[in-house]
Amino acid sequence: MQKIRLICVGKLKEKFYLAAAAEYEKRLRPLCDFAVIELPEERLPDDPSPAEIRRALSLEADAIRAKIPKGSAVIALCIEGQSCSSEGLALDLSALALTGQSAVTFLIGGSFGLDESLKRQADRRISMSPMTFPHHLARIMLLEQLYRAYQIQRGSKYHK
């Protein structure tokens, strides 16, 4: 069974996000060894300077790196990443499993995204869309796409 880890900066607070995340996590657990790791977002002033943002991202990157399982493939979600269809994600996960890569870690940054060094370190960078989404919504979208990817692999009617 493939191990999927989702490392997220920021904690879900809104009830509708919590309910959606719980539903997709419940659906994913029979399909993969799944876990979410939430890390705190660095506190910044209301109008942070670019230097303050870089420092916060660097600290968050250190915390993220400490949680990435050794030997895991790392996929960063960022706007600069490549577009990925649902079928493409399903194929990517299958290909990783076939090559013996049983652990995959997805990264979602906080309000200011991910540190550039993490993006460079990632094995792959994917973008959900050229549009900007709140990082909490991106988490729900990724959970749904992971569930959809496993359903595509199974030939389920869910994807249709």
pLDDT in tens, 91-101: 999 999 888 88
Phi, psi of 46 (to 5 degrees): -60, -35
Average confidence (pLDDT) over 115-141 = 92
Tell me the helices (H) and strands (E) count for the chain, helix number first.
Answer: 5, 5
CB 111 within 8 A of CB 52: no
Spatial distance between the Cα atoms of 17 and 38, rounded to a whole number of angstroms = 14
Is pTM beyond 0.75 here? yes
Average confidence (pLDDT) over 33-47 = 94
Confidence of residue 125 (pLDDT cuts 50, 70, 90): very high
Please report which residue ranges of 31-113 form alpha helices under DSSP H.
Answer: 50-67, 86-98
For 19, the domain range is 3-159
Q: Looking at the predicted structure, is the pLDDT value of residue 160 above 70?
A: no
User: How many domains, the chain?
Assistant: 1
CATH of the domain at 92: 3.40.1280.10
Confidence of residue 102 (pLDDT cuts 50, 70, 90): confident
Token pair recorded at residue 126: 């994917």
What per-residue confidence (pLDDT) applies to 4? 96
